Amino acid sequence: MFRAVKRFLYLLQLENYNLRRYLRVVTAKPFSREGFRQKLVWTPKLAAVFIFAMALQIAASYLALLPLMKSEIYLGIFPLVFVFLFLVLCFFHFVFLSLAVLILRPTDLFIKYFLVRRAKTKLEQFPKLKIIGITGSYGKTTMKEVLATILGEKFKVLKTPENINTPVGIARLIISELNPKIEIFVLEMGAYHRGDIRVLCEIAQPDVAILTGINEAHLERFGSLENTIKAKFEIVENAKPEALIVLNNDDTLVHEHYKYFIGARGIRFYKATERLLEYPAVTILGEYIWAVINACVIIAKELGMKDQEILAGIAKIKPVPHRLEKIENPNGITVIDDSYNGNPDGVREAIKVLSKFEGRRKIYITPGLVEGGRKVKEIHNNIGGQLASVADLVILIKNSVTPFIAEKLDKHKVIWFDSALEAHAALPNILKKGDVILFQNDWPDNYL
């Protein structure tokens, strides 16, 4: 029962306290005993919600048994019955968590407002600070890491860590880490709905705005590709009037729609086939990295960096963890970890990388992509079609989308598992010396 409480807390945090999505997940598998693949993080918000929910559960247990207090016959067993009822209600703790989120929402909104206001006030104290905002359906984190590495050759750079890309996360970073020595602030801007990026730009208005690309990622949340396009171009519309706009010219949707949003702003395009300098070799898989480097070179030159400084920065670029990260196993197996990549363009690039390992058995393992909305079948049929001529073996996790991948594959090349944990446990019996295995995406536990 206490495991059930922990699971309800875990899923609430994964869904970022969105009650509509949370209740859909917990009611689909209310008493699941599947293990957790990520850690529960005890943030101040989660602790407050948990304490308040426990208080509500205690109160509900007491009030339900209050009639027993009026009878001397049952008064003696009241504590035992109370404990029993409280423990039973643990299996429905998600109800009390939901109520706690609703009750605490005004306080939560006030705290968010306070943090954002404080961050904006602090930013006003650094008028010379250059702010670089990055958004897109894919490639944000890689762009951020590469850009921070190159600019770090000349400037003191602050960047958003890991996947911190929300108003509160960015506000907390500004409050705690920004200091007079920082010259450039590179921040990743995430979005699930129209207006999200506009809010982030209101906190830290970019001097340089980068749009890495647009595709069907998170289509379920955005509702339509049109909404996604408008949401991503908010970084252009809400950057500073004199901001430099840097756009991915290899991306079809960016190229087709930028004229509707740019206005009279300065604009630069980047693409993978260009070489702006004689670049040194880099240890990163995927041809996309050259487009990223080209974008960074454009920005670095705009900020006054010399060619030798830029080239020194490029030489220090390292693979971003879990994004086409190549790992050579001592037993002769090559692992390509692309588990943090969950969008159609990223999958296409990953399969292209896998195809280059000629003469070796190529294995692809995936649970598919999430939040494909109305295009979920089309997206996964395309993945299956791409894999058909590349992979020797495809390991699929049983869920709502992987059958669409299997439709385009030879059934003799497919192995099914009920969960990712089972699939990973079986790998020692599947893999052989010389194999190349690509781990594509990793569904959070809040997806079915």
Among candidate residues 221, 135, 141, the one with its CA nearest the CA of residue 446 = 221
Domain with CATH 3.90.190.20 in the chain: 325-440
| 158 strand-pairing partners | 185
Mean pLDDT computed over every residue of the chain:
90
Q: Are the beta carbons of 210 and 156 closer than 8 angstroms?
A: no
Instruction: Give the rounded distance of the alpha carbon of 287 from its chain centre.
Output: 22
Q: Write out pLDDT tens, residues 223-271.
A: 888 999 999 999 999 999 999 999 999 999 999 999 989 876 789 999 9
pLDDT grade, residue 447 (50/70/90)? Answer: very low
Q: Give the alpha-carbon dihedral of 270, 276, 280, 285, to 10 degrees.
A: 20
Q: Are the beta carbons of 251 and 213 closer than 8 angstroms?
A: yes
> What own/partner pairs with CB < 8 Å and gap ≥ 24 does 16-19 have?
17/45, 17/49, 17/101, 19/98, 19/101, 19/102
Residue 59 has pLDDT above 90, yes or no: yes
pLDDT of residue 230: 94
Residue 10 has pLDDT above 70, yes or no: yes
Least confident stretch, 47-56, 158-167, 302-311, 377-386: 158-167
Residue 166 has pLDDT above 90, yes or no: no
CB neighbours of 44 closer than 8 A, spacing ≥ 6? Answer: none
pLDDT grade, residue 442 (50/70/90)? Answer: confident
pLDDT of residue 386: 96
Q: Write out pLDDT tens, residues 205-221.
A: 999 999 999 988 777 77
What single DSSP character describes residue 433? T
Least confident stretch, 116-120, 299-303, 406-410, 439-443: 439-443
Q: Write out pLDDT tens, residues 60-106.
A: 998 888 776 666 666 667 788 888 899 999 999 999 999 999 999 99
Tally Cβ neighbours within 10 Å of residue 393. 18
Following DSSP, what letter does each residue of 230-291 receive, concatenated? HHHTHHHHTS-TT-EEEEETT-HHHHHHTHHHHTT-EEEEE-TT--SS-PPP----STHHHH
pLDDT grade, residue 446 (50/70/90)? Answer: very low
Higher pLDDT, 276 or 201: 201
Class of domain 325-440: alpha beta
Domain with CATH 3.40.1190.10 in the chain: 126-315
Residue 444 has pLDDT above 60, yes or no: no
For residue 12, give the H/E element and its range. helix 2-14
Q: Strand 325-328 relative to strand 334-338: parallel, antiparallel, unpaired? A: antiparallel
The single-letter code of the amino acid at 214 is I
Residue 391 has pLDDT above 80, yes or no: yes
Model pTM above 0.75: yes
Q: Give the CATH fold of the 126-315 domain.
A: UDP-N-acetylmuramoyl-L-alanine:D-glutamate ligase (3.40.1190)
- Range 394-416 average pLDDT: 95
Q: Write out pLDDT tens, residues 102-130.
A: 999 999 999 999 999 999 999 999 999 99
